[in-house]
């Protein structure tokens, strides 16, 4: 259904090159696009081939693109290759919190990696990503900031980037305060490092879906609540959140309108060069032991990034390669600046 102005826009969730499409009746008539591009639909009269233009194109030429139905059907046929095979990740102690923490009890027993335990999520995303109908979102005047979700594999430098952003403008950026059931340490205060709550309350909150993510570590629960995101936004700050990509779908609502940035590792050669003397910090806020990167860490990082990208790539609004930290940080900064001025496209499904 076209929007009010009679225009219909879609966000492409896959890359398309008509030259490589054996099915297209005429390659010259095709419109190529990249994942994330916003397209305007000009005609849906044909069940197999829609006509579309690139949104904002000064001299738009309508071209053929596969219809949703057609693309879904052929993608589904190819699904066995698309479906990522579970990744074998070593379970060394040093591989740290982020991974082991998020294992469900069952997976701990079988000693499998988080990717394996996320099997059910793979089927969740099995509704093959093709297009998402979007609409330009007109921000309310008092609504300036939003949630920015950073995702990326362990060791890619996500925490460093987040910290650099935070200290670059503490008035502008905020982070959530996690909940924990462990006892407060003497130098800590409630609501600063953590919100300290009882195990009973934590479990009730879990039941009531109050957490975006949570896990268990040394017999205590830790988690990030949805309300903690709300309280950062209520302070009129951009809320920076780093979570596992599978949690992103729960945040994709009109209330949060998350902008999702994937921090991607460079090539393994560049990892070896640039991280030679660096240390991997496995926990999300530096409390874990830092150890020098091993070759295994690099390989895991690359594999894990590939899995994230193939499973959740359609949810990423922006991909930033963290080769050189300063360059990546500047790119991140530019992205944030643009966020405040550029048209913000939201799925129409958020408006209902």
Residues of the shown chain interacting with ligand 5GP in the complex, contacts defined by CB under 6 A: 97, 101, 178, 182, 213, 215, 217, 222-224, 283-285, 287-288
Q: Which is nearer to ligand 5GP, 71 or 224 (CB)?
A: 224
Contact 49, 74 (CB under 8 A): no
Q: Which is nearer to ligand 5GP, 137 or 217 (CB)?
A: 217
Nearest-approach distance from CB 198 to ligand 5GP, in angstroms = 16
Cα–Cα distances in angstroms (integers) from residue 92 to residues 96, 100, 126, 137, 140, in the given order: 8, 9, 31, 46, 49
Q: Which is nearer to ligand 5GP, 160 or 285 (CB)?
A: 285
Q: Which is nearer to ligand 5GP, 41 or 197 (CB)?
A: 197
Contact 283, 98 (CB under 8 A): yes
Cα–Cα distances in angstroms (integers) from residue 228 to residues 116, 175, 211, 224, 267, in the given order: 29, 9, 9, 7, 35
Contact 18, 26 (CB under 8 A): no
Q: Which is nearer to ligand 5GP, 55 or 213 (CB)?
A: 213
Nearest-approach distance from CB 69 to ligand 5GP, in angstroms = 39
User: How far is the C-alpha of 311 from the C-alpha of 21, rounded, in Å?
Assistant: 22
Nearest-approach distance from CB 180 to ligand 5GP, in angstroms = 6
Residue 46 DSSP class: S
Residue 82: exposure state from Cβ atoms within 10 A (0-12, 13-18, ≥19): middle
Region label for 36, one of left (φ > 0), alpha (ψ between -120 and 50) or beta (otherwise): left
Contact 79, 88 (CB under 8 A): no
Nearest-approach distance from CB 176 to ligand 5GP, in angstroms = 7
Nearest-approach distance from CB 275 to ligand 5GP, in angstroms = 21
Residues 6+ apart with CB under 8 A from 172: 237, 238
What values do phi and psi take at 291, rounded to 5? -130, 150
Q: Which is nearer to ligand 5GP, 51 or 224 (CB)?
A: 224
Nearest-approach distance from CB 197 to ligand 5GP, in angstroms = 12
Q: Which is nearer to ligand 5GP, 131 or 202 (CB)?
A: 202
The 3-state secondary structure of 281-301 reads ECCCCCCCCEEECCHHHHHHH
Nearest-approach distance from CB 145 to ligand 5GP, in angstroms = 21
User: How far is the C-alpha of 171 from the C-alpha of 235, rounded, in Å?
Assistant: 9
Nearest-approach distance from CB 122 to ligand 5GP, in angstroms = 21
Residue 342 DSSP class: S
Nearest-approach distance from CB 224 to ligand 5GP, in angstroms = 4
Region label for 96, one of left (φ > 0), alpha (ψ between -120 and 50) or beta (otherwise): left
């Amino acid at each position: 259904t076209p929007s009010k102005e009679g225009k219909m826009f879609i966000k492409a969730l896959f890359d398309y090159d008509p030259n490589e499409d054996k099915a297209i009746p005429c390659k010259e008539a095709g419109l190529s696009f990249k994942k994330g591009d916003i397209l305007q639909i000009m005609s849906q009269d044909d069940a197999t081939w829609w006509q579309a233009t690139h949104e904002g194109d000064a001299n738009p030429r309508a071209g053929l693109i596969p219809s949703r139905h057609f693309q879904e059907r052929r993608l589904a046929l190819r699904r066995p290759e698309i479906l990522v095979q579970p990744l074998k990740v070593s379970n060394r102690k040093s591989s740290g919190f982020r991974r082991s923490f998020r294992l469900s009890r069952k997976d701990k027993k079988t000693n499998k990696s988080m990717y394996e335990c996320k099997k059910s999520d793979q089927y969740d995303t099995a509704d093959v990503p093709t297009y998402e109908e979007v609409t330009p979102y007109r921000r309310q005047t008092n609504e300036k900031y939003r949630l920015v979700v950073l995702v990326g594999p362990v060791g890619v430098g996500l925490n460093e980037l987040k910290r650099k952003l935070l200290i670059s403008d503490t008035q502008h950026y905020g982070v959530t305060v996690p909940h924990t059931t462990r006892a407060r340490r003497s130098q800590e205060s409630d609501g600063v490092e953590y919100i300290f709550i009882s195990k009973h309350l934590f479990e009730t909150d879990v039941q009531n879906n109050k957490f975006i993510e949570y896990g268990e570590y040394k017999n205590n629960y830790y988690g990030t609540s949805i309300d903690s995101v709300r309280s950062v936004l209520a302070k009129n700050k951009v809320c920076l959140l780093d979570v596992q990509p599978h949690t992103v779908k729960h945040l994709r609502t009109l209330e949060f309108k998350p902008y999702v940035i994937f921090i991607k590792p460079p090539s393994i050669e560049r990892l070896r060069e640039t991280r030679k003397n660096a240390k991997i910090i496995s926990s999300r806020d530096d409390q874990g032991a830092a150890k020098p990167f091993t070759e295994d860490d690099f390989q895991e990082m690359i594999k894990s990034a590939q899995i994230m990208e193939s499973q959740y790539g359609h949810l990423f609004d922006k991909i930033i390669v963290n080769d050189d930290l300063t360059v990546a940080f500047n790119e991140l900064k530019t992205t944030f600046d643009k966020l405040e001025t550029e048209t913000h496209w939201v799925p129409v499904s958020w408006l209902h």
